[in-house]
Amino acid sequence: MGAALLVAVMGTADAVQTSPATAGQHPHGQLGHAQHSEARSDTARTRQGLLEGVTADGVTSYQGIPYAAPPVGPLRWRPPAAPPTWTGTRRAAEPGPACAQPEVADSSEDCLYLNVTTPAGADRAAPRPVVVWLHGGAFSSGSGDQYDATRMVRQGDVMVVTVNSRLGALGFFAHPDLPDSGAFGLQDQQAALRWVRDNAAAFGGDPGKVTLMGESSGGASVCAQLTSPKAAGLFHRAVVQSGSCLQNWPKNTLAPGDPAATYFASQGELAAKGRGALGCRSLKCLRAKPTKDVLSLNGRFHQPAYGTSVLPQSPARALAAGNFHRVPVLQGNTRDEHRLFAALFTLDGPMSAADYRRLLTETYGRRQAARIARAYPPGATPALAWAEVGTDRSWVCPTLAADRLLARHVPVYSYEFADRHPPAPDLHPDFPLGAYHSAELPYLFGMGDLRLDDGQSALSRRVTAAWTKFARTGTPGDDWPPFPHTQQLARNTFSGVDAAAEHRCAFWSRTS
């Protein structure tokens, strides 16, 4: 993604789910794991040492576990190093800091921590499937502890691990004097997966049954790991939520003047941006810069680099060539992905029909714009038409194209989350968000103030059952056929939908 504005918008899309009550504070306690008055301690022995967690509400949680050495000082912009060990018992009742990010006061470069939630009293002799969650936030914001896994663990009888990994310019900086740079955040994720492989059994998890799952840039991370040779054998199923490897945005898609964008960039392109950054001629100078100065580079560095040992080729090319790990994949989108972005960019006033047609022309050219306007007329609310164009062209159709490439080699299960009245942020009261980008997250995790009503809770149970069955067996259910079937997930139905027709993918194959 080529602009700071795009970073801000993509980060906002996930941040609206978990925004802290007080500006500048990271919502560890409020939006992570709830505090309980009747809690007891439990222990687990890892390779690093003994951990003391907290048991309450039918689950045991161990928070703030270091899975790598703090990437600070001389370890800034280096692959993750071995985690520390300790003697005695380490209290694991609070999450570690979020990885350094703007406007989160207690975020830190010392951030390579993960959190484990497992059923209380989990029988180590009967290990559970493990779900490793990678959060979204445009590779620039967010943290693992914002996602309370209690519901998924308790209902699905699985172990859930939420992960922090380096973000923005600290995670994806590249420089000519740093060979193989630009993918430190992905390397962190691989270090976390190795930690899970080595330690899951201590918590009652099965290291041979690990599902890697993520949403938005977290979903793109899962797709990247599918194509990374260095992730071989570290996970056995993959769930990609709104983060296909083929995701791309034409210019103006998220904001007027915004350049065309993809999740990933070449190492050479990023390294060229690193030359002379912050007025430095040497890495020593760059490593001595304060964190806040490095974060000022986030607009340039928020894409994992390919052309590295981590990603030898772009994930899109890797999928097309069949160069990915042979594991089952569950992948999909929300029904109205782009409405959230359209709402964000109409906060200063409604989009007129003239605005809509001008944006189409600037984005696609006069001839194609006329075709698109006929297929997607502006109607009474042109911003909804713009959102539908964005949903179809930039989200759903690329995901279905990725499904086709994956399905040549592995079982693929496609979904569309379609509850068009989900719990939603108080963002734009006059704009119907529908099943917006990230709308499915409160149905899988506890998400702070976004509460579910009875109908939503029933859908949550069905979605959670499907996701955890996939983690256990590699299929989301006997009544869910593999791709090209797409399962629509709505309050009153789990049924097939022709997603390619619904989102006019044949039209877009001829248009863009």
Helix (H) or strand (E) holding 290: none
Q: What is the mean pLDDT of residues 196-201?
A: 98
Residue 16 scores a pLDDT above 80: no
Residue 396 scores a pLDDT above 70: yes
The count of C-alpha atoms lying within 13 angstroms of the C-alpha of 327, restricted to the half-sphere facing its C-beta, is: 29
Q: What is the pLDDT of residue 22?
A: 33
Q: Which two tokens stand for residue 56?
A: 């309450």
Q: What is the pLDDT of residue 3?
A: 39
Angle between helices 217-227 and 184-199 (to 10 degrees): 80
Q: What is the mean pLDDT of residues 401-421?
A: 98
Q: What is the pLDDT of residue 40?
A: 80
Q: What is the pLDDT of residue 24?
A: 38
Mean pLDDT of the chain: 92
Q: What is the pLDDT of residue 27?
A: 32
Residue 21 scores a pLDDT above 60: no
- For the residues of 324-341, what is the DSSP string, one character each? S----EEEEEETTTTHHH
- CA dist 396 and 504 (Å) reads 10
Q: What is the pLDDT of residue 117?
A: 98
- CA dist 240 and 106 (Å) reads 29
Instruction: Give the list of residues 6+ apart from residue 204 with CB closer than 8 angstroms, or none.
Output: 118, 119, 122, 123, 124, 126, 127, 128, 159
Please name which of 81, 87, 90, 86 lies closest in space to residue 62, comparing C-alpha atoms: 90
Residue 19 scores a pLDDT above 70: no
Instruction: Report the percent of the chain where pLDDT is more than 70.
Output: 92
Q: What is the mean pLDDT of residues 500-510?
A: 97
Q: What is the pLDDT of residue 108?
A: 97
Residue 14 scores a pLDDT above 50: yes
* Coil vs helix vs strand at 183: coil
| pLDDT tier at 425, thresholds 50, 70, 90 | confident
Q: What is the pLDDT of residue 29?
A: 32
Q: What is the pLDDT of residue 38?
A: 67
- CA dist 288 and 272 (Å) reads 20
* Coil vs helix vs strand at 264: coil
Mean pLDDT comparison of 37-46, 305-314, 335-344, highest-scoring range: 305-314
Among 14-18, 130-134, 262-266, 311-315, which stretch is predicted with the lowest mean pLDDT?
14-18
Q: What is the mean pLDDT of residues 356-362?
A: 95
Q: What is the pLDDT of residue 10?
A: 53
Mean pLDDT comparison of 225-239, 342-356, 421-435, highest-scoring range: 225-239
Contact 17, 438 (CB under 8 A): yes
Contact 464, 352 (CB under 8 A): no
Q: What is the pLDDT of residue 512?
A: 67
| pLDDT tier at 429, thresholds 50, 70, 90 | confident
Contact 99, 143 (CB under 8 A): yes
Residue 77 scores a pLDDT above 50: yes
Question: 345 versus 290: which is more confidently predicted?
Answer: 290
Q: What is the mean pLDDT of residues 427-442?
A: 92
Q: What is the pTM of this model?
A: 0.94
Residue 256 scores a pLDDT above 80: no
Query: What 8-state DSSP symbol labels residue 98?
Result: P
Residue 115 scores a pLDDT above 90: yes
Residue 31 scores a pLDDT above 80: no
What percent helix, strand, coil does the chain show, rounded to 5? 35, 20, 45
Q: How far is CA 253 from the centre of its chain?
A: 20
Q: What is the pLDDT of residue 233?
A: 98
Q: Which domains does the chain have, with CATH numbers?
A: 4-101+109-333+408-416+434-498 (3.40.50.1820)
At 119, give phi and psi (nearest 5°).
-55, 140
| pLDDT tier at 259, thresholds 50, 70, 90 | confident
